[in-house]
Structure 1
Amino acid sequence: MTFEYEHSVTTTASPAEVWALWSDVGSWHRWDPAVERVALEGHFAEGAAGTICLSGGVEASFMLEIVEPQARYLDRLTIGDLVVRVDHQVSAVDDGRSEVLVRTTVEGNGAVDLGPMVTGDTSKALEALVGLAEKRS
């Protein structure tokens, strides 16, 4: 079973300002309401692994599968039998704005039922992320 979800927003913040928040895992709880805390072993780079504690006390291991500085990162979380991949992308668009895109894929038994719960705060998280990024500019 697979569940897929995508959401994007535009912002006046630059890709570098968005990236600064994404690559600082200690700040994730400031803009993502689903995150309580994150611990990353090593630098924000491909192959780095860590632990994320989500709202409600759910703890999951995660790994950074793709890291393209200033542009994209994809993390993979394992929650029981579920595998959740979240692909974060930021790019400059016309008139000095940036587009921030998040694609989430949930795979495994119950993915179709649990996917909407996993992605339920995505729009709030993106709005908070770009709000913080815009304050940095």
Structure 2
Amino acid sequence: MSIASEVPMWEYEHSIEVADVTPAQVWARYSDTATWPEWDKGIVSVTLDGPFVAGTTGTMRPEGQDPLPFTLTEAVPDQGFTDETVIPDAVTLRFVHRLAALSGGGTRITHRLEIEGPAAAGMGPELGPQITEDFPDAMQALAKVAGQVG
């Protein structure tokens, strides 16, 4: 018998399938953080302190908010990436982005938000829906601009 520690968590995931975009085309947009505001209207700017690889830190400025630091915790070309923003002594916001090639061509794009930590039970239900409400629109816009990549 094992004892698992219960970490409060809130999560949300949304996927779309696009027929005319490859994982490489979407990856080109993911890895060019300066272009994120083109497809995610909730973001004013994103800067990285190095290459788009695991361990690199950066700053994201959401619309109407102060800049937030984040760290890329995973980055696998043409497959996806994960970034985390830590709010000390409260929660970790983990954004998971996955790409999967479809058998008939095209790509399944999945964006997931996980909110965990000691304050997740209280903050998650309030903060989570505010953050994720634009996931569907942002993902459609991402697919559109990714299709413009050669």
TM > 0.5 fold call: yes
Structure 2 partner of 1:128:
141
The 1:62/1:122 distance shift into structure 2, 3 A limit, reads: same
After superposition, give the CA deviation of every residue in 1:93-116 in whole Å (9 maximum; x if it has no partner).
121111101111012421221110
- Relative to the length of structure 1, the TM-score reads 0.94
1:102 is the counterpart of 2:111: yes
Taking only aligned residues, the RMSD between alpha carbons, in angstroms, comes to 1.3
Structure richer in helix, relative to its length: 1
Q: Which residue matches 2:71?
A: 63
2:21 aligned counterpart, secondary structure: coil
Structure 1 residue 93 corresponds to structure 2 residue 102: yes
Q: Which runs of 5+ in 2 are unaligned?
A: 1-7
**Aligned AA for 2:113?**
T
> In the alignment, is the contact (CA less than 8 A) between 1:28 and 1:37 conserved in 2?
yes
Distance 2:81 2:125 in 1: 24
Amino acid at match of 1:38: V
% same residue: 32
TM-score by length of 2: 0.86
Counterpart residue number, 1:51? 59
Give the counterpart of 1:17 among 25, 28, 35: 25
* Structure in which a larger fraction of residues adopt strand: 1
Runs of 4 or more off by more than 3 Å in structure 1? none
d(CA) in 2 for partners of 1:22 and 1:97?
A: 17
Q: Distance in 1 between the 2:149 and 2:51 partners?
A: 22
Which residue identity lines up with residue 135 of structure 1 in the other structure?
Q
Structure 1 runs not aligned, ≥5 long: none
Q: How many residues align?
A: 137
SS where residue 70 of structure 1 aligns? coil
Counterpart CA distance in 2 for 1:62 and 1:99 is: 25
Match of 2:15 among 2, 8, 14: 8
